[in-house]
Each structure stands twice: as structure tokens, then as C-alpha cells.
Structure 1
Amino acid sequence: MAYDYRPFPYAPPPGLTAPEPRHPVLIVGAGPIGLAMALELANHGVRSVVVDDNDVVSVGSRAICWSKRSLEIFARLGIAERCLEKGVTWKVGRTFHRDREVFNFDLLPEDGHRMPAFINLQQYYVEQYLAEAAIAHPLIDLRFKNRVTALSQSDHVRAEIGTPDGPYRLEAEYLLACDGARSPIRGLMGLDFKGELFEERFLIADIEMEADFPPERHFWFEPTFHPGQSALLHKQPDNIYRIDLQLGWDADPEAERQPDRVIPRIERVVGHSDFRLDWVSVYTFQCRRLDQFVHDRVIFVGDSAHVVSPFGARGGNGGMQDVDNLGWKLAAVLAGGPETLLESYDRERQHGADENIANSTRATRFMTPEDGAERVFRDAVLRLAGKAAFARAWVNSGRLSRPCTYPGLGPDADLPVGAAPGMVAPDAPVAEGWLQDQLRGWTLLAFNHDAPDVGLPVLHPTGDNARARYQGDAANALYLIRPDQVVAARWITATAAEVTTALSHHKEGRPWP
């Protein structure tokens, strides 16, 4: 493969020779979600131990499309610049029906944003950058070749760990299961997903080739090079191109992975044979999740809690939004805050997962319609979309990842702009650099407003972009921002008592009102 896989060092853990003190947090899984979780907790001063039964980054490109919100989170974790430097930046998508371009779209048409709409960057690079940052951080103890073999919980969690040098025990206040879609922790606890498994298979092929394809998302319905099915093309770093091809439910996954099957298919896509196979996988569409993500002191994060079909880039990005939501809440609980904050993680991220599942399910049904009314509708929409702009909104090749709006946050003033409670506070250039860099804890944003003194930092952002995104043409505006940069409440004007009431609701994890 093009990527140089190098094992991370294994070191015998101290628990092999003497009992370890109880740790605040044990994180299972050193993939992008587990590593990001450790770094986010460290930003809040929380120590963690991260264990993983492997010692290399993930094999294959896997998650490649990282959204604007994930990049904003990466900035907090200290890896955004590396990702931007290595990744392929894109914002334009083109949709084709057979050989005809039906329409195209621009995901970030306005200026004044630090992060692009998306970058394409193989998951192994993201894991490498996160792992290197975690290894360098004094609050993170990253242990490779450490596998959880059993666990129990009471007023804390006890985990039995296997290593090349024998077993030992770890105790922690909380265990975060960040161990992926096949989560061993989920298996140890006898938990299972609920949802829908679609009778459809897709081939992923990463190929290395010299080409001049633009950095855009290209999606085809029923292309002539793959009749009757769907196809997707993305450009990645290192001259690697991702090609997804619909195979149908009757395809034999093992046979379809073989080069003698894959290479002719790819030749028909790119029109030549001057390429090298880098990685091949076959996957099945599924949109499923756990009934609840918080099980006493075991908390599920990312793919261990929910899985979606890959079109729309909602898997890895949805997991990063879990990290964003949980980090400050768990840190607050460990500092003596109410456990209802963890209930709010469960409530809010179930909402986020359900939104992702709904979008992925709709995309899957449009891309792989059943014979009958579904197919008639899909084909009619594709014919119409090339001629009528209103029909383009009905074409669904995967609604690309955006952070959800959490319900039950407020109060909400009737301001003429879109940064409503429950939404991520939009970034903007300000005199001091970028607004989100200053939103690292509970903060008030005041626009033409003398903010009441409630013991919180107060920012008075300047600049046309900030005013346009928060104030609009209103005379005043006041925003309460959570530590995860989500708008908790907004007013045209507010008293100290009103702000304090909203703040106490959020610090206790209670919905509004």
C-alpha cells in the first residue's frame, strides 16, 4: 500500500507488576474517535488511559471526507493545520445520470470561513496525527497491544486487560467505548444495534494513478461504465483515488475483492489500465444504533454507538460530534457536576444519530430503489432535475454531513440570522484572529449590548462577518455559548437573572424550559 504502516511501540503497563490507582477515564479504542476523545478531555484537564488491541493505524483509507465542523474540532485538538496541509480541499459536487451532468453544487459559496467545506484525507493520516498528539500529551497514557477481555461496574468500572506480557486490571471512574462498529465492549455487555440492514453491497477501491481529475465529488446514477448501478469518485492525497461501485445484494463479497474482478471494473471507470490497486473492500449498507449510549459508567461514542451508510460522510464526522458533545460534560461530572449532564449527552447525540440515520436511509433508498413506485419516482426525478432547478433538491446521493441542531435549548430571541440555540456557533474572522479560537468555555457574545455580569467571559466580536452571522439588522444581540461551541441561548437583550437561569439549566443538563 502507498501508506507506510509503522507499528507504535508497546511498553509493559505498570499494572503488570503492581495495582494501578483508579483512573478518571479509560478509553477503549485508539481510532480517530478514541484518540480525539482523549485529546478533548485533556483540553479540559482530564487524564485518561487509552487502550487498543492493535499497534498500527487503520488499514485502508476508510473514512476520508472530513467536514468543516470536524476540522474546527481538529483545530482544538491541535491537528487541523496538518490535516489541511495534507488533505485535498473540495466544496463542489457534480451529479450525473448516465453520461449527462444533471447539476452541481457549491457547499461553501461565501467567504469569511477559516475551514473549507470538506477535505479528503485518508483515515490512517488522521489517526497518525491524533496518535502523535496523544503520545506527546502529558495527560494521556496511550497503550497499544492492550485488549479488554472482561469488564464490570458498580460505583466505578473494572476492566481486565490482556497484553503480550500477561493480564492485569484497570479501574476507572468511567469507560468510553470508542472501539468501532464491531465494538468488543458492546459484545461483552450483551448489547446490540437496532435499525435497518439494507440488501445492497458496494465495492470500495483505492487506486494510485496520475490523473487530472479535479478535487470534486463526482456521483453517477446508472453510468454507462457501470450500467444500472451507482458510482462515486473522490480524489485523495498521494495520487490516490477512491472509487465506490454499487454491486447488488447477490454479489459475493469475497469474489468481488479479487483483483481479477476489481481491475476490469476500474478500467471501465477511468478508461485505461495505468493504475495500481491500493486497497479494496466490500461493505453492506446499514443504518442502526444502540437504544441508549450511556450505560451507567460505560459510555458509547462513535461507531460503537451508531452506524450509517457511508454516502454523506456521516460516520466519522458524526463520531467527532459525539466527542465534541461529551468532552466538556464528562469533565464537568468528574469535577463534581451533576450526572444529568451525561443524560444530556445521551439525549442530544441520540437526536444527532437519528438525524444521520434518517438522511442515510433516504439516500440509500434513492440510490438503490425498489422496483415499482420507488424506481419510477427516482428515474423521473433524475430526468427532471437536468431541466428544472426545483427537482434538484429531490436528488439524493447522500446529504453531506452537517452538525445537527439540538432541540430543547433556549431561550431563543427572534433574531433575523441563523445561529439559533442548539446550533454550532459559526466561526468568523475577528480582530483577534478567529472567533472560535476564543470560545473554549462558557462565554457570552455581546453585539451592541452591555452584557450582564454573571461571572463569564464576555466577547464583543467585531467585523462584518461576525455581525452578519449573529446580529443581522437587529439593534442588539446577546449569545450564551457552551464549551462545545454550541449556542445555548440568545436574546436581543437580557438581565443577569435571565442569563443565570439559562446557564444553570445547561450546567445541569436539563432541557429548556
Structure 2
Amino acid sequence: MVDVRYDIAFRLYPYEKVAAQSRPAQRHPVVIVGGGPIGMATALDLGLKGTPVLVLDDHEGVGQGSRAICFAKRTLEIADRLGAGDAMVAKGVTWNLGKVFHGHEKVFEFDMQPEEGHKRPAFINLQQPHFEKCLVDAIRAAQAAGAPIEIRGRNAVTGMHQKHGHVLLDIDTPDGPYQIEADWLIACDGAGSPIRAMMDLSFEGRVFEDNFLIADVKMTADFPAERWFWFQPPFKNCGASALLHKQPDDIWRIDFQLGWDIDREKELKPESIRARVDAMLGPDVAYELEWTSIYTFQCRRMKDFRHGRVIFAGDSAHQVSPFGARGANSGVQDADNLAWKLDLVVKGLAPEALLDSYSQERGYGADENIRNSTRSTDFLTPKSEISKVFRDAVLELARTHAFARPLVNSGRLSVPCVYDGLSLNGPDDPALPELTRPGAACVDAPLGDGFLLNKLAGVFTVLAINTAAPAIAEVDGIPLQKLEISTQNDDPKGAVSARYLGGATQAVYLIRPDQHVSGRWQSVAEHQIRSALRRSVGRDL
């Protein structure tokens, strides 16, 4: 990676010596290693639920360079629940429309969110440092309100040892080493995870023989806030494909497909990068290089995300190619899935076996992402002449025939994973819409006084539509929220009816703290709700 010039170097948690560095190893319920977006989202979610969490990061703030830039609707909905969504959308560049070109010709365009009735857009573009800063700002607000979250900068984990019932960590700081203990350790320390290496664990999957150049440039341009992708771009020396995306502060993301056999050092020289950018933008366009990098496509994952008291999330657990925006977005879904489960386990309200369902569900999500990412990569970089003939024929047909457009794969963009058929899912009534079946993330809908997802506040919820909810306040000590909606009075756009009832006149949904549907019925008794909730927390399996 080459940092040419980047102004975002937020020093949000500068190093401070703490008393624990001079004491015997102190025990913490949850320790997170890695202060990137996944570590901070997990810490914020746990802290808001009242579970004490310590974040150890080897730096003092967010990283430099854009890195991830496309954050999907589901990620923004999770950020809303954590108190960071408004800041992200205010700073980000909103977009729903993408265009695909083949040479000079536009093949077609697509709208990622053609229907109305959602609070958040399909995507925003927001440089990862800004995304991380929004999370840290939300953590500071939560700390001020009493949330038990601590962040220690320049605390590098140099060793870890699993003991009976806890993990012992060796930590290095500017004032020397010390040790701490963790009941649970969450490794959010990136694709090169030191924790994974210390445990001698590996990835399984593929590394693709191709290289892509990222060039973030600062310029004033009239291009719209859309995703533009070229197969065989018409610009001289711009590779087999190219991508153009707008970011905040007049920064534009440009990707060039370089091929496999390249001189990386030569390609990262400013004059080489400028030659490609000049060919794309034209010689008279003024710009500055902000950040550049070369990456290869990798589609890999750990076999299991939980190893005793150590749990892996985000890039430390799985990697996918950047096209499709599935990396950071899937990592935030990891955090969303893990936090409520670990919170219940720490509080003694659920068995440790519930954490195995994290590996099951998010492993299922990783497989889905890898499958889509691999297909995108194979379409972008055909591995044989016949594959290239097929790819080019699809692009030609797509210009005039709608049936061919779903076959065009410039990166299947991130959507929430549906945990179909997995162990925590409860009963289903197939007469209700497939969109909101058990395992699916709840779909937003406008209400008379806001949006549906804003009312699902990170606890188990009984959503009763056109009927009364059973009078249950808790199950085995787990709080249960009740939300009753009348489509006649509370559904101004008819979205609740369409997305949650279909042809039915009433329904009751049990919704998990991560806003995924646990079970649903047209009519339900109290004992059925209790049984479904116990299943959702790893009991009665």
C-alpha cells in the first residue's frame, strides 16, 4: 500500500497509561482486539446492552486511506440502531443507480432500490476512516451515558494463551508489557490477523490471479453520484475493466484491472498511476492523488469462527473481493449477529452453545458472499477463451435484451443474508410473504410516526399486526418488547401490509435483537412465543 497524501488521520484514542499495567492480570468479560469498523461496532453494541467491553488497538485512531467505501442499506440500518446512522448518511454520498458500459457503449443501468418506503438508501459512499469515526463518536456518546466501553490505543497484543474458562493476553505498550485476562476474546484484527496466526489457524479458499489498482483522486467533476463500471474500457492503458465512484469531499474512487503478471513497484509509481488516470479523465482535468493501493482478489474463510473462548469476526474470519462491497458490510453483519448472543451468554441468560450459532449463521453468510464474489471474479476475468466469448456475448445481448442483464456480473452488490433453514429459526406460516420469512432481516416500512426498524431497538420483539400481542414481558429472564401495528391507522403507504402480511389479514412476528425474523404466525398462543424464543437463544434445539 502506498499513502500518497491523505488528510484523514483521526487520533481518536491516544495512548494513556492505565493502572492495570502495574497490576497482576485483571479479568474482563469481553476483550476485542482491533479498533476497525467491526471491532468498534461490536464494542458499541455490547456496551449499549450493558456488557463491559475493552477494545485493544495497536494504533491510536482510525486508519489512513479510503479502503472500504460502499456501505449498504443493511449496514446503515444496523448503524441506526447503534446511534451512528444519521452521521454516516449526512457525511456520505447517497446513490442507488449503477451503469454498466462495454467499451464506449452503455449496456444498461440498474436501480438498487426502485421502491419507496425505506428510511435508508441502497448505498452510501463513505471513506472507511469517516465510517470508523462515526462509530467512535457514537461510543463516546454512549460512554458519557454510562455504557461500559473502554478503548486503549497503542496496546498491541503480542501473545495469547487459552486457559480453562478464559484467555490470557500479553500486551505491549510504549510503557512496556503487561497482561490481562478475558472471559471472551473477539478477534477483529483484520485479514492478516495476528490472533489467528498465534493460534496456528488458517483460511480455506482461492486467491485469484489478477491485480487491481485503486486510485483515490481529489477533483471537481460533474459526474453524477452513480456507480459506473466499464468492461474493456475505451481509455488507453486502463486495463480489462474500470470503475468510477464518487466519495465525500470531492474524492473519487477509480479502480483499474491490471492483470496478473505485473511489476507492482512500477505500477504504484505516481507517474504510472497518473498515466492511467489521465487516459480516463482526459489530459486537461486537474486532480490530486490521495491514496493508492494494489490488491488481489481473495475469496477465503476460516472453517469455524469460534475456537473455544476466541471468536473471529470481519476480515479476520473471511475475505472476499472488493467488487460487490461485501467485505465491510458482511463484517458489520458479523458484529450484529454476535453482540446480542454474547451479551446473553455473558449475563447467564443463554447457554454457551448459542455462540456456535454465530459460526453457523455467519459462516453461511460468508459462503454466500464467497460464492457471489467468485462468480463476479470469474465474469470480470474470464479464465479461458470460451469464457471470454460467453462474457462478451452476454454484454452484447444485454444492450437490447432485458433477459441477459441479470447475467452481467460487475460485482453482485451486498444484500443482507437470509439464514434459511438454520437451527435458530422458529415456526413459519408460508402464507405470509417470502420476503420476511424466518431467518430474513426485517424489511423497513414507513409508519405514521417514523419507520419500523427504528422501533426494533435491539431486544426480542413481538410484532403484532392487526391483532393483539400475547401479554409476555420476559422469557427466562430475557426481556420481550411488544409492538402492535394497525395497517388501517399506522401504515400510510401500505408497506407493512405488503411486506409482512401479503394476502393475510393479520400476523404475529417474533423478531430477534439483530432484527432478523425468528418465527411468525397468523395467530399464536403465548406458549408458542416462549418456545420460539427459547429456540432462538440456543435452548430446546
* Pair in the same fold by TM > 0.5: yes
Shift, 1:510, TM fit: 6.6
1:187 aligns with 2:211: no
User: How many Å separate the matches in 2 of 1:126 and 1:14?
Assistant: 31
Among 207, 211, 215, the residue aligned to 1:205: 215
CA contact (8 A) 2:238 2:276 kept: no
User: How many Å separate the matches in 1 of 2:128 and 2:346?
Assistant: 31
Q: Kindly provide the amino acid, as one letter, of the partner of residue 108 in structure 1.
A: Q
Q: 2:417 aligns to what?
A: 404
CA contact (8 A) 2:426 2:535 kept: no
Q: 2:50 aligns to what?
A: 45
Against the structure 1 CA distance between its residues 509 and 376, is the aligned structure 2 distance closer, same or farther, given a 3 Å change threshold?
farther
SS in 1 for 2:30: strand
Q: 2:135 aligns to what?
A: 130
User: How many Å separate the matches in 1 of 2:448 and 2:234?
Assistant: 53
Instruction: Note the residue ranges of structure 1 that are not aligned, 5 or more in a row.
Output: none
User: How many Å separate the matches in 2 of 1:509 and 1:425?
Assistant: 23
Among 423, 431, 439, the residue aligned to 2:448: 431
CA contact (8 A) 1:135 1:142 kept: no
Residues 432-511 of structure 1 correspond to what in structure 2 (within 5 A)? 432-440=449-457, 441-455=459-473, 456-461=480-485, 462-463=490-491, 464-508=494-538
Instruction: Note the residue ranges of structure 2 that are not aligned, 5 or more in a row.
Output: 474-479
User: How many Å separate the matches in 2 of 1:61 and 1:164?
Assistant: 28
Q: 1:234 aligns to what?
A: 245
Q: 1:301 aligns to what?
A: 313
CA contact (8 A) 1:340 1:510 kept: no
CA contact (8 A) 1:443 1:458 kept: yes
User: How many Å separate the matches in 2 of 1:510 and 1:94?
Assistant: 49
Q: Which shows bigger deviation, 157-166 or 47-56?
A: 47-56
User: How many Å separate the matches in 2 of 1:416 and 1:341?
Assistant: 28
Residues 327-476 of structure 1 correspond to what in structure 2 (within 5 A)? 327-336=339-348, 337-407=350-420, 408=422, 409-417=425-433, 418-440=435-457, 441-455=459-473, 456-461=480-485, 462-463=490-491, 464-476=494-506
Residues 44-123 of structure 1 correspond to what in structure 2 (within 5 A)? 44-123=49-128
Q: 2:296 aligns to what?
A: 284
User: How many Å separate the matches in 2 of 1:2 and 1:164?
Assistant: 26
1:17 aligns with 2:47: no
CA contact (8 A) 2:6 2:65 kept: no
Shift, 1:389, TM fit: 0.2
User: How many Å separate the matches in 1 of 2:8 and 2:97?
Assistant: 30
Q: Kindly provide the amino acid, as one letter, of the partner of residue 53 in structure 1.
A: D
Q: For 1:188-226, what per-residue CA distance to the aligned partner results, in whole angstroms no more than 9, with x for missing partners?
A: 111111100000000000000010110000000001115
CA contact (8 A) 2:426 2:518 kept: yes
1:243 aligns with 2:254: yes
Shift, 1:65, TM fit: 0.2
Against the structure 1 CA distance between its residues 228 and 157, is the aligned structure 2 distance closer, same or farther, given a 3 Å change threshold?
closer
CA contact (8 A) 2:469 2:484 kept: no
CA contact (8 A) 1:285 1:308 kept: yes
CA RMSD between the two structures: 1.4
Q: Kindly provide the amino acid, as one letter, of the partner of residue 460 in structure 1.
A: E
CA contact (8 A) 2:210 2:260 kept: yes
Q: Kindly provide the amino acid, as one letter, of the partner of residue 3 in structure 1.
A: D
User: How many Å separate the matches in 2 of 1:278 and 1:389?
Assistant: 39
User: How many Å separate the matches in 2 of 1:54 and 1:435?
Assistant: 38
CA contact (8 A) 2:62 2:133 kept: yes
Q: 1:169 aligns to what?
A: 179
Q: Kindly provide the amino acid, as one letter, of the partner of residue 429 in structure 2.
A: A
Against the structure 1 CA distance between its residues 216 and 290, is the aligned structure 2 distance closer, same or farther, given a 3 Å change threshold?
same
Shift, 1:140, TM fit: 1.0
SS in 2 for 1:446: strand
User: How many Å separate the matches in 2 of 1:62 and 1:296?
Assistant: 31
SS in 2 for 1:84: helix
SS in 1 for 2:297: strand
CA contact (8 A) 1:98 1:223 kept: yes
CA contact (8 A) 2:215 2:293 kept: yes
User: How many Å separate the matches in 1 of 2:85 and 2:467?
Assistant: 33
- Give the structure-1-normalised TM-score: 0.97
1:261 aligns with 2:272: yes
User: How many Å separate the matches in 2 of 1:454 and 1:232?
Assistant: 52
CA contact (8 A) 1:64 1:123 kept: yes
SS in 1 for 2:115: coil
Q: 1:148 aligns to what?
A: 157
CA contact (8 A) 1:286 1:308 kept: yes
How many residues are treated as equivalent by the alignment? 511
CA contact (8 A) 1:5 1:56 kept: yes
1:275 aligns with 2:279: no
User: How many Å separate the matches in 2 of 1:41 and 1:173?
Assistant: 14
User: How many Å separate the matches in 2 of 1:227 and 1:151?
Assistant: 45
Q: Kindly provide the amino acid, as one letter, of the partner of residue 428 in structure 2.
A: D
Shift, 1:135, TM fit: 3.8
Q: 2:476 aligns to what?
A: none
User: How many Å separate the matches in 2 of 1:429 and 1:497?
Assistant: 31
Q: Which shows bigger deviation, 296-305 or 488-497?
A: 488-497
- Give the structure-2-normalised TM-score: 0.92
User: How many Å separate the matches in 2 of 1:157 and 1:415?
Assistant: 48
Against the structure 1 CA distance between its residues 391 and 322, is the aligned structure 2 distance closer, same or farther, given a 3 Å change threshold?
same
Q: Kindly provide the amino acid, as one letter, of the partner of residue 241 in structure 2.
A: S
User: How many Å separate the matches in 2 of 1:510 and 1:199?
Assistant: 47
SS in 1 for 2:531: helix
Shift, 1:131, TM fit: 2.1
Q: Kindly provide the amino acid, as one letter, of the partner of residue 184 in structure 1.
A: P
